[in-house]
Structure 1
């Protein structure tokens, strides 16, 4: 019996491993399908059955007697028993998997190759149908793969491993911590809300449950911090000098070296000095070659950032679309922190997939003809390879799926191209003892920006030739001071929030979109134009309340340290019980 994480994935695995010979039937639970075919396993003839779960089979919860918010003190939730229950009882997933396993000798798990997938491996493997067999884990195997292609799946089938219990335990720990901490604080906040002035804020946002989460609340904290910076900002007046000069009847407006002046009288003195001098001279001309480096290989966080800032898609929408592209075999596994291609990665083969692309085929063909450039060195996090295209889009994709696929393809090709080379000409001039500069940029070789034009270098107006010689005379045509004010920062964009979460270790590549979606769904923030996140009155009240009571509950430091400890559990370097119990004790004391 082979079990995948989603029905569509199971269908693809069965079809590719059976060379299109699998017979498909509907599972009796009405949710999953079952594909069957004959083949070989470890050199022996075997009958294969391929089916799936629909994500997690089990979830963690408290026994029903603890679900009464009025009778149960939230503090009890730190010591109350926690039990595994079916994630969706209507699917009857446990019963379904057990019935399909009755005649199976071997279990091969094709769950997603990340921590959550590893956890689901044990949810399936510990099904009573398997668990009741003596030494049952010796008959449980784990397939490791990063793309839904025949090559990847058959290679995974030849190199089966075993489920990693340490990775699964790190997820168990996170689930229990989030349950106990989240429920205790959420119940307290919600009940407190019924008695306090914060009730007005929640009514305004139509929220009934005031939720807390060890990741969710620090995420909101970033948004409220930026809001307060904007509200508390006091604009400061400053003055800039704007000049127009001419040289051989050509006019130009250089930049004043001093930039901003925060005293109007001093700014006026400089203007008078320049007007009195009236003429100036070129004192230096320099030309240098500059380059804009191509990107590293694409990981999940960068995909979410670009999709939000350039495509206007929320992180949760982006990952939903990317998952669909992955299950249909268009891109590799979209959840990865790695930005370096493996040494044995077939760069040429993947590039050839895109050579027939209607939009970018000519660029790809040119790259193949000239030879690919060694990719920029990135970071290997030891999880999945970077996100890359796996098959060509022959017109079957549209809407958001087509846009995400196109970006993944453009990014991949760009990593194999040359950097963008441009020439910078800088002319320095003196007038009235003040220095002015004019600069021009000319692209020599667009390099990777040919396929990522939005990252191209804007060619600035060429510096007049008459200026490009030391000693050239310039005539002042106009000089004036302009009054301006400093401006506050803008509200955080989703892309900026993702960067902050990654920097401070809040969430994982899989959970970042969930936390951002949660603070939006809970009406703690609203998404405004440009995908900027504006905190509501409720979101502000909540964060400011924690700042007064215990700032650590809203700052990112506690969760970041916990994530580090959970990663040590996943790698077998820390004990599951020690990490979980220490974190629970810390939050219980704060509660």
Structure 2
């Protein structure tokens, strides 16, 4: 009787794509114990041996989640500080989904297991979750320490890693099966335990503290998160800069001149000084220039310029572009990109790399798009000029996944919704831009010096030599800027001297793109979690998203978000500044590389945060003054509802989140 191999993917759609690739389009599909997880069956070759029966199915993301043991889940029975030393456990992520039952059933009778989970740290962690579930069906006792499974690696446990679900990528992954990475998995567990204990301890304490004092917070949960709160901190820091900004009036001169060489056409000249903050001085200079209204061209220069083509696309840059160009939130963009990946349209969308691997067939990838109705002409032109596309030298290969690229050419109908199409097009055009020539131009500049006062003014222009990649991206490309016919020594007549008055302006609120950049720069979150942190601060009513000029999505902190951040700064700035979290992320990366012990990293981080929590708890009154200036006390909030049947006193109803009843005479809250 033939042997059976169970292949487990991370999502049902990926399982379907794997089955199509491995079964060459010939497979039977049946339901599984988990309603959402079907099973694809076919016969094929496994590790060079014919006659194997394949069962390809999936989980639904994480099989388990990290949580406290039961006694710590009662807010009223446990002090928040106790959570730092609390016992944790793995619980089914969704018991109703029946994924655990499904895996055990499908593993029954299997002789080998291929873990085809996503190729990132989370995927490695899910590998070990699956192993814990199916071990007994392979006559192996579930391990207390998952590292015990390592002795079975290469015997019946295998790991398939791929960055795209195209058939060639899947077959290549199955031809070089590897092992699950315990260190990567441990790094996920470390982050989960730290975020759970730190986040829940602070969240429980400050939620109860403020909801028992103020009635119009309009937030059911005042959450704290080691990544979420520094993210909010960036937004509030920009808000504070805006509020502290003091506008200054300035003046600048602008000249209108004419020359015989330009047939009397007007030439606009800008002041080399740009602006000054002394009105009387500006008027005096203008008067002096007007007293002898002529000038001389003292220099004319030409300089070759170049705009380098963009680097290959990684996750952070994709999220920034989706927000700034498409008006798509990072959270939504990450979901759409994941969908495009599962459809087999783009490569794996979570990567830090910005350099293509040397094995990537860029020429073939460009050729695939040569017949596309929208950008096919770009691909054809590239291949005509460069039959063998050269590998770009810029960028960094982090070693996780290749950059995000289109996997196959597709049209709007196949891609699906408008959101999916716009993100797909952005990814395709960016890819084509990365293998297009640099944009080149000639920058021209003339310096004009007035006869009176020797004030220097400038005029510039540009001639595009080759628009290169800028004509590919679908955005406003590089264009010519007219330059007057001027030569050194030409005399100009000054027709008009203008004095323009204006004010300095404050910076704008952070755009989502800028916020993502700050998070990446300071090590807050990962390429996979950044969208979640931004979404969380919006969901908690700490910020609002405002569409500003040009459609930019700007992150504006609410009064609640502002007061919370100011309070953290007043008690312990480390709670909101990115320094501590950035250090923790570095330590977690060391765990992933096997350079640090998971237990040591967790112990050190929790010890630090526990001490900070105890100080925060003692100094909480320092935040009251800030909250009192913004929010109403319980006694001053709500409206009289009814008389209590027992004490005959009236209660007030507070309609904002969370809805509560308050008795003013004894400060009781329900």
- TM-score, normalised relative to structure 1: 0.97
- Output the CA distance in 1 between the equivalents of 2:524 and 2:305: 36
Partner of 2:483: 463
Alignment of 1:31-180 (within 5 A): 31-44=36-49, 45-127=51-133, 128-130=135-137, 132-133=139-140, 136-137=152-153, 138-180=155-197
TM superposition shift of 1:130: 4.9
- SS in structure 1 at match of 2:475: helix
Alignment of 1:555-566 (within 5 A): 555-566=577-588
Partner of 1:227: 239
- Output the CA distance in 1 between the equivalents of 2:390 and 2:256: 45
- Output the CA distance in 2 between the equivalents of 1:234 and 1:500: 25
Partner of 1:568: 590
**CA offsets per residue over residues 475-521 of structure 1, 9 Å max, x none?**
11111322211000000010000000000000010000000000011
Counterpart among 320, 327, 336 of residue 351 in structure 2 = 336
Counterpart among 577, 584, 589 of residue 599 in structure 2 = 577
Q: Does 2:363 match 1:348? A: yes
**CA offsets per residue over residues 120-161 of structure 1, 9 Å max, x none?**
000001114357517555421100100011100000001000
Q: Does 2:33 match 1:28? A: yes
Counterpart among 503, 510, 518 of residue 521 in structure 2 = 503
**Paired residues of 2:33 and 2:101 also in contact (CA < 8 A):** no
**Paired residues of 1:494 and 1:532 also in contact (CA < 8 A):** yes
Q: Does 2:405 match 1:388? A: yes
Partner of 1:208: 220
Q: Does 2:425 match 1:406? A: yes
Counterpart among 239, 256, 273 of residue 258 in structure 1 = 273
- SS in structure 1 at match of 2:524: coil
- SS in structure 1 at match of 2:295: strand
Partner of 1:538: 560
Instruction: Go from structure 1 to structure 2 and tell me whether the alpha carbon gap of 1:455 and 1:297 turns closer, same or farther (over 3 Å shift).
Output: farther
Counterpart among 439, 452, 458 of residue 420 in structure 1 = 439
- Output the CA distance in 2 between the equivalents of 1:242 and 1:435: 11
Q: How many residues align structurally?
A: 583
Partner of 2:649: none
Instruction: Go from structure 1 to structure 2 and tell me whether the alpha carbon gap of 1:299 and 1:232 turns closer, same or farther (over 3 Å shift).
Output: same
**Paired residues of 2:111 and 2:138 also in contact (CA < 8 A):** no
Instruction: Go from structure 1 to structure 2 and tell me whether the alpha carbon gap of 1:130 and 1:560 turns closer, same or farther (over 3 Å shift).
Output: farther
Partner of 2:575: 553
**CA offsets per residue over residues 208-251 of structure 1, 9 Å max, x none?**
11000000000000000111111111101111112111112111
Counterpart among 538, 543, 553 of residue 525 in structure 1 = 543
Partner of 1:445: 466
Counterpart among 203, 206, 227 of residue 186 in structure 1 = 203
TM superposition shift of 1:581: 0.7
Partner of 2:636: none
TM superposition shift of 1:89: 0.4
Partner of 1:243: 255
**Paired residues of 1:102 and 1:129 also in contact (CA < 8 A):** no
TM superposition shift of 1:454: 2.0
- SS in structure 2 at match of 1:335: coil
- Output the CA distance in 1 between the equivalents of 2:364 and 2:180: 31
Larger Rg: 2
- Output the CA distance in 2 between the equivalents of 1:575 and 1:455: 50
- Output the CA distance in 1 between the equivalents of 2:126 and 2:432: 35
- Output the CA distance in 2 between the equivalents of 1:31 and 1:581: 38
TM superposition shift of 1:40: 1.8
**Paired residues of 1:295 and 1:376 also in contact (CA < 8 A):** no
Counterpart among 354, 370, 383 of residue 368 in structure 1 = 383
- Output the CA distance in 2 between the equivalents of 1:291 and 1:353: 29
**Paired residues of 1:101 and 1:129 also in contact (CA < 8 A):** no
Q: Which stretches in structure 2 are left out of the alignment for 5+ residues?
A: 1-5, 142-150, 614-670
- TM-score, normalised relative to structure 2: 0.86
Partner of 1:304: 319
- Output the CA distance in 1 between the equivalents of 2:175 and 2:43: 16
- Output the CA distance in 2 between the equivalents of 1:584 and 1:490: 37
Q: Which stretches in structure 1 are left out of the alignment for 5+ residues?
A: none
TM superposition shift of 1:376: 4.1
**Paired residues of 2:358 and 2:391 also in contact (CA < 8 A):** no
- Output the CA distance in 2 between the equivalents of 1:429 and 1:257: 10
TM superposition shift of 1:285: 0.9
Instruction: Go from structure 1 to structure 2 and tell me whether the alpha carbon gap of 1:64 and 1:17 turns closer, same or farther (over 3 Å shift).
Output: same
- Output the CA distance in 2 between the equivalents of 1:374 and 1:453: 23
**CA offsets per residue over residues 366-394 of structure 1, 9 Å max, x none?**
10111134414101111000000111113
- Output the CA distance in 1 between the equivalents of 2:244 and 2:213: 26
- Output the CA distance in 2 between the equivalents of 1:482 and 1:271: 11
TM superposition shift of 1:196: 3.2
Q: Does 2:18 match 1:3? A: no
